[in-house]
Structure 1
Protein backbone atom coordinates (compact mmCIF):
# COMPACT_ATOMS: atom_id res chain seq x y z
CA UNK A 1 0.00 0.00 0.00
CA UNK A 2 1.36 3.41 -0.95
CA UNK A 3 1.71 5.91 1.86
CA UNK A 4 2.69 9.55 2.08
CA UNK A 5 5.94 8.53 3.76
CA UNK A 6 6.87 6.30 0.80
CA UNK A 7 6.13 8.86 -1.89
CA UNK A 8 9.18 9.40 -4.10
CA UNK A 9 10.92 12.76 -4.20
CA UNK A 10 10.02 14.97 -7.15
CA UNK A 11 12.68 15.86 -9.65
CA UNK A 12 13.41 19.55 -10.43
CA UNK A 13 11.49 19.21 -13.73
CA UNK A 14 8.37 18.03 -11.90
CA UNK A 15 8.03 21.06 -9.65
CA UNK A 16 7.05 24.63 -10.46
CA UNK A 17 9.80 26.97 -11.59
CA UNK A 18 10.92 29.49 -9.00
CA UNK A 19 9.89 32.39 -11.24
CA UNK A 20 6.32 31.05 -11.60
CA UNK A 21 5.58 30.92 -7.88
CA UNK A 22 3.96 33.28 -5.41
CA UNK A 23 6.64 35.50 -3.95
CA UNK A 24 5.80 34.68 -0.33
CA UNK A 25 3.01 33.61 2.00
CA UNK A 26 3.03 34.88 5.59
CA UNK A 27 1.26 32.92 8.35
CA UNK A 28 0.97 33.52 12.07
CA UNK A 29 -1.00 32.08 15.00
CA UNK A 30 -2.12 28.95 13.19
CA UNK A 31 -1.34 25.26 12.78
CA UNK A 32 0.06 24.16 9.42
CA UNK A 33 -0.86 20.64 8.30
CA UNK A 34 -0.61 18.65 5.07
CA UNK A 35 -3.56 17.63 2.90
CA UNK A 36 -2.37 15.55 -0.09
CA UNK A 37 0.05 17.85 -1.94
CA UNK A 38 -1.23 21.03 -0.33
CA UNK A 39 -0.70 22.55 3.06
CA UNK A 40 -3.47 23.83 5.27
CA UNK A 41 -3.39 26.71 7.74
CA UNK A 42 -5.91 26.25 10.55
CA UNK A 43 -6.81 29.05 12.95
CA UNK A 44 -9.87 30.31 14.84
CA UNK A 45 -11.49 31.39 11.56
CA UNK A 46 -11.23 28.02 9.85
CA UNK A 47 -8.97 26.15 7.44
CA UNK A 48 -7.23 27.63 4.39
CA UNK A 49 -5.75 25.36 1.70
CA UNK A 50 -2.54 26.53 0.00
CA UNK A 51 -1.02 24.61 -2.96
CA UNK A 52 2.52 23.95 -1.74
CA UNK A 53 4.05 23.89 -5.24
CA UNK A 54 3.01 27.51 -5.83
CA UNK A 55 4.92 28.93 -2.86
CA UNK A 56 8.26 30.65 -3.28
CA UNK A 57 8.87 31.12 0.42
CA UNK A 58 6.63 30.45 3.42
CA UNK A 59 7.13 32.93 6.26
CA UNK A 60 6.14 31.40 9.61
CA UNK A 61 5.44 34.05 12.21
CA UNK A 62 4.72 33.85 15.95
CA UNK A 63 2.21 31.32 17.18
CA UNK A 64 2.65 28.93 14.25
CA UNK A 65 3.07 25.18 14.53
CA UNK A 66 3.90 23.02 11.52
CA UNK A 67 3.73 19.23 11.16
CA UNK A 68 6.47 16.97 9.88
CA UNK A 69 4.38 15.98 6.84
CA UNK A 70 3.75 19.63 5.96
CA UNK A 71 7.51 20.26 6.02
CA UNK A 72 8.00 17.13 3.93
CA UNK A 73 5.76 18.28 1.08
CA UNK A 74 7.18 21.82 1.20
CA UNK A 75 10.70 20.43 0.96
CA UNK A 76 9.73 18.13 -1.89
CA UNK A 77 8.24 21.08 -3.79
CA UNK A 78 11.34 23.18 -3.22
CA UNK A 79 9.52 25.84 -1.23
CA UNK A 80 11.71 27.78 1.15
CA UNK A 81 10.44 27.88 4.73
CA UNK A 82 11.58 30.80 6.86
CA UNK A 83 10.82 31.28 10.54
CA UNK A 84 10.39 34.98 11.27
CA UNK A 85 9.56 37.23 14.19
CA UNK A 86 6.44 39.24 14.89
CA UNK A 87 5.20 41.21 11.87
CA UNK A 88 7.74 39.30 9.78
CA UNK A 89 10.59 41.62 10.75
CA UNK A 90 13.11 39.17 12.23
CA UNK A 91 14.73 36.19 10.46
CA UNK A 92 15.36 33.09 12.58
CA UNK A 93 15.94 30.10 10.30
CA UNK A 94 15.54 28.94 6.69
CA UNK A 95 15.21 25.78 4.59
CA UNK A 96 16.58 23.75 1.68
CA UNK A 97 17.41 24.15 -2.01
CA UNK A 98 15.21 23.36 -5.02
CA UNK A 99 18.06 22.39 -7.32
CA UNK A 100 20.17 19.32 -6.71
CA UNK A 101 23.12 20.57 -8.71
CA UNK A 102 26.21 22.34 -7.40
CA UNK A 103 26.76 24.26 -10.67
CA UNK A 104 25.75 27.69 -9.39
CA UNK A 105 27.39 27.15 -6.00
CA UNK A 106 30.65 26.34 -7.78
CA UNK A 107 30.30 29.38 -10.06
CA UNK A 108 29.68 31.56 -7.00
CA UNK A 109 32.67 30.13 -5.13
CA UNK A 110 34.93 30.60 -8.17
CA UNK A 111 34.26 34.33 -8.57
CA UNK A 112 34.14 34.91 -4.81
CA UNK A 113 37.54 33.30 -4.22
CA UNK A 114 39.27 35.71 -6.64
CA UNK A 115 39.52 39.18 -5.11
CA UNK A 116 39.48 40.96 -8.48
CA UNK A 117 36.52 38.94 -9.75
CA UNK A 118 34.72 39.57 -6.46
CA UNK A 119 35.08 43.32 -6.95
CA UNK A 120 33.87 42.98 -10.55
CA UNK A 121 30.68 41.28 -9.31
CA UNK A 122 30.19 44.02 -6.71
CA UNK A 123 30.48 46.65 -9.45
CA UNK A 124 27.99 44.71 -11.58
CA UNK A 125 25.57 44.73 -8.65
CA UNK A 126 25.85 48.51 -8.34
CA UNK A 127 25.37 48.80 -12.11
CA UNK A 128 22.04 46.94 -11.73
CA UNK A 129 21.00 49.17 -8.84
CA UNK A 130 22.11 52.46 -10.39
CA UNK A 131 21.95 52.04 -14.19
CA UNK A 132 22.50 55.77 -14.83
CA UNK A 133 25.89 55.72 -13.09
CA UNK A 134 29.06 53.92 -14.19
CA UNK A 135 30.73 52.00 -11.33
CA UNK A 136 33.65 50.84 -13.49
CA UNK A 137 36.94 51.67 -11.83
CA UNK A 138 35.26 52.69 -8.57
CA UNK A 139 36.82 51.53 -5.33
CA UNK A 140 34.71 49.75 -2.74
CA UNK A 141 34.63 52.88 -0.60
CA UNK A 142 33.39 54.91 -3.57
CA UNK A 143 30.72 52.28 -4.25
CA UNK A 144 29.51 52.52 -0.66
CA UNK A 145 29.33 56.30 -1.01
CA UNK A 146 27.25 55.91 -4.19
CA UNK A 147 24.86 53.63 -2.36
CA UNK A 148 24.46 55.96 0.60
CA UNK A 149 23.65 58.95 -1.60
CA UNK A 150 21.20 57.09 -3.78
CA UNK A 151 19.31 55.52 -0.87
CA UNK A 152 19.09 58.90 0.89
CA UNK A 153 17.78 60.48 -2.33
CA UNK A 154 15.26 57.64 -2.66
CA UNK A 155 13.87 58.34 0.82
CA UNK A 156 13.41 62.00 -0.08
CA UNK A 157 11.83 61.23 -3.45
CA UNK A 158 9.35 58.76 -1.95
CA UNK A 159 8.46 61.26 0.77
CA UNK A 160 7.63 63.84 -1.90
CA UNK A 161 5.70 61.31 -4.00
CA UNK A 162 3.50 60.07 -1.16
CA UNK A 163 3.38 63.15 1.08
CA UNK A 164 4.70 61.13 4.03
CA UNK A 165 7.01 63.21 6.25
CA UNK A 166 10.57 61.89 6.44
CA UNK A 167 13.32 62.78 8.90
CA UNK A 168 15.94 60.03 8.86
CA UNK A 169 16.31 56.27 8.91
CA UNK A 170 15.78 54.89 12.40
CA UNK A 171 15.80 51.22 13.33
CA UNK A 172 15.59 49.72 16.82
CA UNK A 173 16.37 46.02 16.63
CA UNK A 174 14.64 45.36 19.95
CA UNK A 175 11.52 47.49 19.39
CA UNK A 176 9.89 47.54 15.97
CA UNK A 177 7.24 50.04 17.09
CA UNK A 178 9.85 52.61 18.19
CA UNK A 179 10.16 54.02 14.67
CA UNK A 180 7.65 56.23 12.87
CA UNK A 181 5.34 54.69 10.22
CA UNK A 182 7.70 55.02 7.23
CA UNK A 183 10.58 53.56 9.24
CA UNK A 184 8.41 50.66 10.38
CA UNK A 185 7.37 50.08 6.78
CA UNK A 186 10.96 50.14 5.54
CA UNK A 187 11.99 47.62 8.20
CA UNK A 188 9.07 45.30 7.37
CA UNK A 189 9.76 45.59 3.64
CA UNK A 190 13.46 44.86 4.10
CA UNK A 191 12.81 41.70 6.11
CA UNK A 192 10.30 40.40 3.55
CA UNK A 193 12.73 41.15 0.73
CA UNK A 194 15.40 39.21 2.61
CA UNK A 195 13.02 36.26 2.81
CA UNK A 196 12.23 36.41 -0.92
CA UNK A 197 15.92 36.76 -1.83
CA UNK A 198 16.82 33.89 0.51
CA UNK A 199 14.21 31.70 -1.20
CA UNK A 200 15.77 32.35 -4.62
CA UNK A 201 19.36 31.95 -3.40
CA UNK A 202 18.53 28.69 -1.64
CA UNK A 203 16.41 27.36 -4.52
CA UNK A 204 19.31 27.89 -6.93
CA UNK A 205 21.72 26.12 -4.61
CA UNK A 206 23.94 29.15 -3.98
CA UNK A 207 25.68 29.84 -0.70
CA UNK A 208 23.85 32.52 1.32
CA UNK A 209 27.12 33.35 3.09
CA UNK A 210 29.43 34.22 0.17
CA UNK A 211 28.61 37.87 -0.46
CA UNK A 212 30.20 40.38 -2.81
CA UNK A 213 29.11 43.64 -1.16
CA UNK A 214 28.19 42.33 2.29
CA UNK A 215 30.59 40.15 4.23
CA UNK A 216 31.00 38.30 7.50
CA UNK A 217 27.37 37.18 7.88
CA UNK A 218 25.71 33.85 7.14
CA UNK A 219 23.31 35.66 4.76
CA UNK A 220 25.73 38.08 3.08
CA UNK A 221 24.76 37.03 -0.46
CA UNK A 222 21.05 37.19 0.45
CA UNK A 223 21.53 40.80 1.57
CA UNK A 224 23.39 41.54 -1.67
CA UNK A 225 20.53 40.25 -3.82
CA UNK A 226 17.74 41.85 -1.78
CA UNK A 227 19.47 45.24 -1.98
CA UNK A 228 19.38 45.13 -5.79
CA UNK A 229 15.68 45.96 -5.62
CA UNK A 230 15.54 48.08 -2.48
CA UNK A 231 15.05 51.49 -4.09
CA UNK A 232 12.77 50.16 -6.84
CA UNK A 233 10.44 47.91 -4.86
CA UNK A 234 11.10 47.80 -1.11
CA UNK A 235 11.23 51.48 -0.14
CA UNK A 236 8.33 52.58 -2.41
CA UNK A 237 6.13 49.82 -0.96
CA UNK A 238 6.92 51.02 2.56
CA UNK A 239 6.00 54.63 1.77
CA UNK A 240 2.81 53.51 -0.01
CA UNK A 241 1.76 51.69 3.15
CA UNK A 242 2.73 54.62 5.40
CA UNK A 243 0.67 56.98 3.24
CA UNK A 244 -2.47 54.99 4.13
CA UNK A 245 -2.05 55.64 7.85
CA UNK A 246 -0.07 54.44 10.86
CA UNK A 247 -2.29 51.47 11.79
CA UNK A 248 -1.15 47.93 11.01
CA UNK A 249 1.78 49.28 9.00
CA UNK A 250 3.67 45.96 8.79
CA UNK A 251 0.77 44.00 7.28
CA UNK A 252 -0.05 46.74 4.78
CA UNK A 253 3.61 46.99 3.79
CA UNK A 254 3.70 43.24 3.10
CA UNK A 255 0.59 43.52 0.91
CA UNK A 256 1.99 46.50 -1.00
CA UNK A 257 5.28 44.67 -1.39
CA UNK A 258 3.54 41.52 -2.64
CA UNK A 259 1.71 43.52 -5.32
CA UNK A 260 4.90 45.22 -6.49
CA UNK A 261 6.83 41.93 -6.51
CA UNK A 262 4.18 40.24 -8.64
CA UNK A 263 3.86 43.18 -11.03
CA UNK A 264 7.64 43.35 -11.52
CA UNK A 265 7.91 39.53 -11.84
CA UNK A 266 10.70 39.81 -9.33
CA UNK A 267 11.36 36.10 -8.88
CA UNK A 268 12.12 35.76 -12.60
CA UNK A 269 14.41 38.77 -12.39
CA UNK A 270 16.18 37.43 -9.30
CA UNK A 271 16.96 34.15 -11.02
CA UNK A 272 18.29 35.88 -14.14
CA UNK A 273 20.28 38.42 -12.16
CA UNK A 274 21.93 35.81 -9.92
CA UNK A 275 22.98 33.73 -12.91
CA UNK A 276 24.25 36.75 -14.85
CA UNK A 277 26.18 38.13 -11.87
CA UNK A 278 27.89 34.79 -11.29
CA UNK A 279 28.71 34.34 -14.97
CA UNK A 280 26.64 31.17 -15.21
CA UNK A 281 25.77 30.28 -18.82
CA UNK A 282 23.49 27.32 -18.19
CA UNK A 283 20.28 29.25 -18.88
CA UNK A 284 17.80 31.30 -16.91
CA UNK A 285 14.82 28.98 -16.36
CA UNK A 286 15.25 28.62 -12.62
CA UNK A 287 16.78 25.16 -12.51
CA UNK A 288 15.70 23.05 -15.49
CA UNK A 289 18.86 23.12 -17.63
CA UNK A 290 22.21 21.93 -16.29
CA UNK A 291 20.82 22.33 -12.78
CA UNK A 292 18.40 19.45 -13.40
CA UNK A 293 18.57 16.01 -11.83
CA UNK A 294 20.67 14.14 -9.32
CA UNK A 295 24.02 13.91 -11.09
CA UNK A 296 27.15 13.09 -9.13
CA UNK A 297 30.57 13.17 -10.79
CA UNK A 298 34.11 12.68 -9.52
CA UNK A 299 36.88 15.20 -10.10
CA UNK A 300 39.85 13.87 -12.04
CA UNK A 301 43.01 15.48 -13.42
CA UNK A 302 43.19 18.38 -15.88
CA UNK A 303 39.75 19.66 -14.90
CA UNK A 304 38.02 16.50 -16.16
CA UNK A 305 34.97 15.12 -14.33
CA UNK A 306 34.17 11.42 -14.56
CA UNK A 307 31.04 9.43 -13.80
CA UNK A 308 30.32 8.68 -10.16
CA UNK A 309 29.20 5.32 -8.81
CA UNK A 310 31.91 3.43 -10.69
CA UNK A 311 35.21 1.88 -9.69
CA UNK A 312 37.97 3.75 -11.52
CA UNK A 313 40.86 1.68 -10.14
CA UNK A 314 41.98 0.33 -13.54
CA UNK A 315 41.14 3.36 -15.66
CA UNK A 316 43.48 6.18 -16.61
CA UNK A 317 41.67 9.45 -17.11
CA UNK A 318 43.23 12.11 -19.32
Structure 2
Protein backbone atom coordinates (compact mmCIF):
# COMPACT_ATOMS: atom_id res chain seq x y z
CA UNK A 1 0.00 0.00 0.00
CA UNK A 2 1.20 3.51 -0.74
CA UNK A 3 0.10 7.00 0.19
CA UNK A 4 -1.74 8.26 3.25
CA UNK A 5 -5.04 6.51 3.94
CA UNK A 6 -8.22 8.16 5.24
CA UNK A 7 -10.03 11.43 4.64
CA UNK A 8 -8.07 14.52 3.63
CA UNK A 9 -7.46 16.83 6.61
CA UNK A 10 -9.42 20.05 6.44
CA UNK A 11 -7.48 23.18 5.54
CA UNK A 12 -7.67 26.04 8.01
CA UNK A 13 -9.59 28.24 5.56
CA UNK A 14 -12.27 25.53 5.35
CA UNK A 15 -13.02 25.62 9.06
CA UNK A 16 -15.96 27.42 10.62
CA UNK A 17 -14.97 30.50 12.62
CA UNK A 18 -15.23 30.01 16.38
CA UNK A 19 -17.90 32.71 16.67
CA UNK A 20 -20.15 30.84 14.24
CA UNK A 21 -19.92 27.41 15.89
CA UNK A 22 -22.34 25.58 18.13
CA UNK A 23 -21.36 26.15 21.74
CA UNK A 24 -20.78 22.74 23.30
CA UNK A 25 -21.90 19.13 23.16
CA UNK A 26 -21.90 16.86 26.20
CA UNK A 27 -21.60 13.12 25.47
CA UNK A 28 -21.58 10.15 27.83
CA UNK A 29 -21.90 6.38 27.43
CA UNK A 30 -21.26 6.51 23.70
CA UNK A 31 -18.62 5.83 21.08
CA UNK A 32 -17.40 8.75 18.98
CA UNK A 33 -15.97 7.94 15.56
CA UNK A 34 -15.59 9.56 12.16
CA UNK A 35 -17.48 9.35 8.87
CA UNK A 36 -15.62 11.58 6.39
CA UNK A 37 -15.75 15.05 7.96
CA UNK A 38 -18.53 14.31 10.44
CA UNK A 39 -18.43 12.86 13.93
CA UNK A 40 -20.60 9.83 14.59
CA UNK A 41 -21.92 9.37 18.10
CA UNK A 42 -23.16 5.83 18.66
CA UNK A 43 -25.24 5.27 21.79
CA UNK A 44 -28.15 3.03 22.80
CA UNK A 45 -30.57 5.38 21.04
CA UNK A 46 -28.77 5.03 17.70
CA UNK A 47 -26.21 7.00 15.70
CA UNK A 48 -26.07 10.81 15.56
CA UNK A 49 -23.99 12.74 13.01
CA UNK A 50 -22.36 16.02 14.04
CA UNK A 51 -20.41 18.29 11.63
CA UNK A 52 -16.89 18.36 13.03
CA UNK A 53 -16.13 21.93 11.98
CA UNK A 54 -19.36 23.28 13.45
CA UNK A 55 -18.59 22.54 17.10
CA UNK A 56 -16.64 24.66 19.58
CA UNK A 57 -16.34 22.26 22.51
CA UNK A 58 -16.92 18.55 23.03
CA UNK A 59 -17.39 17.54 26.67
CA UNK A 60 -16.64 13.81 26.94
CA UNK A 61 -18.24 12.31 30.03
CA UNK A 62 -18.01 8.85 31.64
CA UNK A 63 -18.40 5.88 29.32
CA UNK A 64 -17.27 7.88 26.30
CA UNK A 65 -14.88 6.25 23.85
CA UNK A 66 -13.26 8.12 20.96
CA UNK A 67 -11.68 6.30 18.04
CA UNK A 68 -8.37 7.38 16.57
CA UNK A 69 -10.13 8.80 13.50
CA UNK A 70 -12.70 10.59 15.66
CA UNK A 71 -9.95 12.28 17.66
CA UNK A 72 -8.13 13.08 14.44
CA UNK A 73 -11.17 14.96 13.12
CA UNK A 74 -11.61 16.85 16.39
CA UNK A 75 -7.97 17.92 16.18
CA UNK A 76 -8.19 18.95 12.53
CA UNK A 77 -11.29 21.04 13.22
CA UNK A 78 -9.81 22.71 16.30
CA UNK A 79 -12.60 21.44 18.55
CA UNK A 80 -11.57 21.82 22.19
CA UNK A 81 -12.17 18.35 23.58
CA UNK A 82 -12.63 18.43 27.36
CA UNK A 83 -12.73 15.19 29.34
CA UNK A 84 -15.07 15.60 32.32
CA UNK A 85 -16.44 13.49 35.15
CA UNK A 86 -19.95 12.32 35.93
CA UNK A 87 -22.63 14.94 35.29
CA UNK A 88 -19.91 17.05 33.66
CA UNK A 89 -18.72 18.37 37.02
CA UNK A 90 -15.05 17.39 37.23
CA UNK A 91 -12.50 18.54 34.66
CA UNK A 92 -9.71 16.15 33.68
CA UNK A 93 -8.00 17.24 30.48
CA UNK A 94 -8.44 19.05 27.18
CA UNK A 95 -7.19 18.67 23.63
CA UNK A 96 -5.83 20.81 20.81
CA UNK A 97 -7.11 24.31 20.03
CA UNK A 98 -8.00 26.14 16.83
CA UNK A 99 -5.36 28.85 17.32
CA UNK A 100 -2.95 29.59 14.48
CA UNK A 101 -1.25 32.57 16.12
CA UNK A 102 0.26 33.39 19.52
CA UNK A 103 -0.77 37.05 19.34
CA UNK A 104 -3.28 36.70 22.19
CA UNK A 105 -0.96 34.54 24.27
CA UNK A 106 1.97 36.95 23.99
CA UNK A 107 -0.22 39.91 24.91
CA UNK A 108 -1.78 38.03 27.81
CA UNK A 109 1.65 37.05 29.18
CA UNK A 110 2.82 40.66 28.85
CA UNK A 111 -0.19 42.01 30.74
CA UNK A 112 -0.23 39.42 33.52
CA UNK A 113 3.52 39.73 34.18
CA UNK A 114 3.33 43.42 35.15
CA UNK A 115 1.44 44.13 38.43
CA UNK A 116 0.18 47.48 37.17
CA UNK A 117 -1.24 46.14 33.89
CA UNK A 118 -2.59 43.05 35.65
CA UNK A 119 -4.55 45.20 38.09
CA UNK A 120 -5.78 47.33 35.17
CA UNK A 121 -7.18 44.26 33.40
CA UNK A 122 -8.72 42.96 36.62
CA UNK A 123 -10.41 46.33 37.19
CA UNK A 124 -11.67 46.29 33.61
CA UNK A 125 -13.24 42.88 34.28
CA UNK A 126 -14.99 44.18 37.37
CA UNK A 127 -16.08 47.28 35.44
CA UNK A 128 -17.93 45.00 33.01
CA UNK A 129 -19.99 43.76 35.96
CA UNK A 130 -20.58 47.25 37.39
CA UNK A 131 -21.21 49.34 34.25
CA UNK A 132 -22.79 52.21 36.18
CA UNK A 133 -19.97 52.56 38.69
CA UNK A 134 -16.44 53.95 38.65
CA UNK A 135 -14.17 51.18 39.98
CA UNK A 136 -10.88 52.72 38.85
CA UNK A 137 -9.96 53.81 42.37
CA UNK A 138 -10.91 50.60 44.18
CA UNK A 139 -8.35 48.14 45.49
CA UNK A 140 -8.53 44.46 44.58
CA UNK A 141 -9.83 43.71 48.08
CA UNK A 142 -12.59 46.29 47.68
CA UNK A 143 -13.48 44.88 44.26
CA UNK A 144 -13.71 41.34 45.64
CA UNK A 145 -15.99 42.57 48.41
CA UNK A 146 -18.20 44.41 45.93
CA UNK A 147 -18.43 41.30 43.76
CA UNK A 148 -19.32 39.10 46.74
CA UNK A 149 -22.19 41.39 47.68
CA UNK A 150 -23.35 41.47 44.07
CA UNK A 151 -23.46 37.67 43.77
CA UNK A 152 -25.35 37.28 47.06
CA UNK A 153 -27.89 39.82 45.84
CA UNK A 154 -28.31 37.95 42.53
CA UNK A 155 -28.93 34.65 44.36
CA UNK A 156 -31.49 36.31 46.61
CA UNK A 157 -33.29 37.99 43.69
CA UNK A 158 -33.41 34.79 41.63
CA UNK A 159 -34.77 32.90 44.62
CA UNK A 160 -37.57 35.45 44.99
CA UNK A 161 -38.27 35.47 41.24
CA UNK A 162 -38.52 31.70 40.83
CA UNK A 163 -39.71 30.63 44.28
CA UNK A 164 -36.72 28.32 44.74
CA UNK A 165 -35.48 28.20 48.32
CA UNK A 166 -31.91 29.47 48.66
CA UNK A 167 -29.58 29.18 51.64
CA UNK A 168 -26.00 29.26 50.39
CA UNK A 169 -23.65 27.90 47.73
CA UNK A 170 -22.80 24.42 48.96
CA UNK A 171 -21.48 21.60 46.79
CA UNK A 172 -19.08 18.65 46.87
CA UNK A 173 -16.95 18.27 43.74
CA UNK A 174 -16.50 14.59 44.62
CA UNK A 175 -20.23 13.86 44.98
CA UNK A 176 -22.67 15.66 42.69
CA UNK A 177 -25.75 14.14 44.37
CA UNK A 178 -24.72 15.27 47.86
CA UNK A 179 -26.04 18.80 47.18
CA UNK A 180 -29.61 20.07 47.08
CA UNK A 181 -31.29 20.60 43.72
CA UNK A 182 -30.42 24.26 43.24
CA UNK A 183 -26.76 23.68 44.05
CA UNK A 184 -26.64 20.72 41.66
CA UNK A 185 -28.21 22.94 38.99
CA UNK A 186 -25.65 25.69 39.59
CA UNK A 187 -22.74 23.22 39.45
CA UNK A 188 -23.95 21.72 36.17
CA UNK A 189 -24.64 25.14 34.63
CA UNK A 190 -21.27 26.59 35.63
CA UNK A 191 -19.42 23.53 34.33
CA UNK A 192 -21.04 23.97 30.91
CA UNK A 193 -19.99 27.62 30.91
CA UNK A 194 -16.43 26.72 31.94
CA UNK A 195 -16.19 24.22 29.08
CA UNK A 196 -17.33 26.79 26.54
CA UNK A 197 -15.08 29.56 27.90
CA UNK A 198 -12.13 27.16 27.89
CA UNK A 199 -12.85 26.31 24.26
CA UNK A 200 -13.00 29.96 23.18
CA UNK A 201 -9.86 30.91 25.11
CA UNK A 202 -7.99 28.04 23.49
CA UNK A 203 -9.38 28.97 20.07
CA UNK A 204 -8.08 32.52 20.52
CA UNK A 205 -4.64 31.16 21.34
CA UNK A 206 -4.68 32.54 24.90
CA UNK A 207 -3.70 30.60 28.02
CA UNK A 208 -6.41 29.13 30.28
CA UNK A 209 -3.97 29.34 33.20
CA UNK A 210 -2.82 32.98 33.14
CA UNK A 211 -5.56 34.62 35.16
CA UNK A 212 -5.86 38.22 36.27
CA UNK A 213 -8.26 37.79 39.19
CA UNK A 214 -7.91 34.07 39.82
CA UNK A 215 -4.37 32.82 40.30
CA UNK A 216 -2.27 29.67 40.42
CA UNK A 217 -4.72 27.25 38.80
CA UNK A 218 -4.47 25.72 35.34
CA UNK A 219 -7.88 27.23 34.49
CA UNK A 220 -7.51 30.54 36.32
CA UNK A 221 -8.32 32.65 33.25
CA UNK A 222 -11.28 30.39 32.44
CA UNK A 223 -12.77 31.26 35.83
CA UNK A 224 -11.98 34.94 35.28
CA UNK A 225 -13.90 35.07 32.03
CA UNK A 226 -16.75 32.79 33.09
CA UNK A 227 -17.52 35.08 36.02
CA UNK A 228 -18.44 37.80 33.52
CA UNK A 229 -21.47 35.83 32.31
CA UNK A 230 -22.81 33.89 35.29
CA UNK A 231 -25.26 36.59 36.37
CA UNK A 232 -26.88 36.70 32.93
CA UNK A 233 -26.58 33.06 31.85
CA UNK A 234 -25.99 30.29 34.35
CA UNK A 235 -27.46 31.57 37.62
CA UNK A 236 -30.92 32.55 36.22
CA UNK A 237 -31.01 29.33 34.18
CA UNK A 238 -30.18 27.17 37.19
CA UNK A 239 -32.96 28.72 39.28
CA UNK A 240 -35.50 28.48 36.45
CA UNK A 241 -34.79 24.81 35.78
CA UNK A 242 -34.85 23.96 39.49
CA UNK A 243 -38.27 25.57 39.80
CA UNK A 244 -39.53 23.18 37.10
CA UNK A 245 -38.39 20.16 39.17
CA UNK A 246 -37.16 17.97 36.27
CA UNK A 247 -36.36 14.27 36.94
CA UNK A 248 -32.70 14.70 35.85
CA UNK A 249 -31.64 18.20 36.79
CA UNK A 250 -28.10 17.88 35.41
CA UNK A 251 -29.30 16.98 31.92
CA UNK A 252 -32.10 19.56 31.96
CA UNK A 253 -29.71 22.33 32.98
CA UNK A 254 -27.19 21.44 30.26
CA UNK A 255 -29.83 21.68 27.54
CA UNK A 256 -31.13 24.99 28.87
CA UNK A 257 -27.68 26.51 29.27
CA UNK A 258 -26.84 25.48 25.71
CA UNK A 259 -29.97 27.30 24.49
CA UNK A 260 -29.16 30.39 26.58
CA UNK A 261 -25.62 30.51 25.23
CA UNK A 262 -26.90 30.27 21.67
CA UNK A 263 -29.68 32.86 21.94
CA UNK A 264 -27.47 35.19 23.98
CA UNK A 265 -24.60 34.90 21.46
CA UNK A 266 -22.23 34.27 24.34
CA UNK A 267 -19.39 33.00 22.13
CA UNK A 268 -19.29 36.32 20.29
CA UNK A 269 -19.36 38.16 23.62
CA UNK A 270 -16.40 36.17 24.95
CA UNK A 271 -14.35 36.85 21.82
CA UNK A 272 -15.16 40.55 21.94
CA UNK A 273 -14.63 40.97 25.67
CA UNK A 274 -11.30 39.09 25.83
CA UNK A 275 -10.02 41.01 22.81
CA UNK A 276 -10.98 44.34 24.34
CA UNK A 277 -9.39 43.39 27.65
CA UNK A 278 -6.07 42.57 25.97
CA UNK A 279 -5.80 45.16 23.23
CA UNK A 280 -6.27 48.91 22.90
CA UNK A 281 -9.13 50.23 20.79
CA UNK A 282 -6.92 50.75 17.72
CA UNK A 283 -5.52 47.19 17.99
CA UNK A 284 -8.80 45.29 18.30
CA UNK A 285 -9.56 44.92 14.59
CA UNK A 286 -6.04 43.70 13.79
CA UNK A 287 -6.21 41.19 16.64
CA UNK A 288 -9.54 39.81 15.41
CA UNK A 289 -8.19 39.62 11.85
CA UNK A 290 -5.23 37.59 13.09
CA UNK A 291 -7.58 34.79 14.15
CA UNK A 292 -8.08 33.86 10.51
CA UNK A 293 -4.40 34.27 9.59
CA UNK A 294 -1.96 31.64 8.45
CA UNK A 295 0.21 29.76 10.90
CA UNK A 296 3.44 31.60 10.06
CA UNK A 297 6.55 30.72 12.08
CA UNK A 298 8.80 33.70 12.75
CA UNK A 299 12.05 34.10 14.68
CA UNK A 300 12.29 36.44 17.64
CA UNK A 301 14.67 39.41 17.61
CA UNK A 302 14.94 42.33 20.08
CA UNK A 303 14.11 44.67 17.20
CA UNK A 304 11.06 42.65 16.14
CA UNK A 305 10.16 39.30 14.59
CA UNK A 306 12.02 38.18 11.47
CA UNK A 307 11.06 35.57 8.90
CA UNK A 308 11.64 31.90 9.65
CA UNK A 309 12.84 29.33 7.15
CA UNK A 310 15.78 31.52 6.13
CA UNK A 311 19.50 30.88 6.42
CA UNK A 312 20.96 33.95 8.15
CA UNK A 313 24.62 32.93 7.88
CA UNK A 314 25.42 35.70 5.37
CA UNK A 315 23.34 38.43 7.06
- Please say if residues 84 and 90 of structure 2, whose CA atoms lie closer than 8 Å, have aligned partners that are also in contact: yes
Cα distance in 2 for partners of 1:301, 1:93 equals: 36
In structure 2, the residue matched to 1:199 is 199
Give the structure 2 partner of residue 93 of structure 1.
Answer: 93
Q: Distance in 2 between matches of 1:57 and 1:33?
A: 16
Aligned to 2:118: 118
8 Å CA contact 1:271, 1:284 repeated in 2:
no
1:116-142 per-residue CA deviation (whole Å, 9 max, x = no partner) reads 000000011111122223221111111
Q: Secondary structure at the match of 1:156?
A: helix
Partner of 1:292: 293
Deviations 1:83-137 (A, max 9, x none): 1111111111111121211111001011111110000000111111222232211
- Offset of residue 221 of structure 1: 0.6
| 3-state secondary structure, aligned to 1:195 | helix
Q: Report the counterpart of residue 60 of structure 1 in structure 2.
A: 60
What is the Cα deviation at residue 298 of structure 1?
1.2
Counterpart of 1:21 in structure 2 is 21
The Cα of 1:4 is off from its aligned counterpart by 5.0
| Structure 1 residues 157 and 4: CA distance shift in structure 2, 3 A | farther
Q: Which protein, 1 or 2, shows the higher relative CO under an 8 Å CA cutoff with sep ≥ 6? A: 1
Total equivalences in the alignment? 312
Which residue is 2:235 aligned to?
235
Query: Where does the alignment leave 5 or more consecutive residues of structure 2 unmatched?
Result: none
* Partner secondary structure for residue 290 of structure 2: coil
Cα distance change on mapping 1:55 and 1:4 into 2, 3 Å: farther
Question: Aligned-pair RMSD on alpha carbons?
Answer: 1.7
Deviation of residue 284 (structure 1)? 8.0
State the shift of 1:289 in Å.
3.1
Asked if the contact 1:82/1:94 (under 8 Å) is kept, the reply is yes
Pair 223,9 (structure 1): closer, same or farther in 2 beyond 3 Å? same
Provide the TM-score with structure 1 as the length reference. Answer: 0.94
SS of residue matched to 1:31: strand
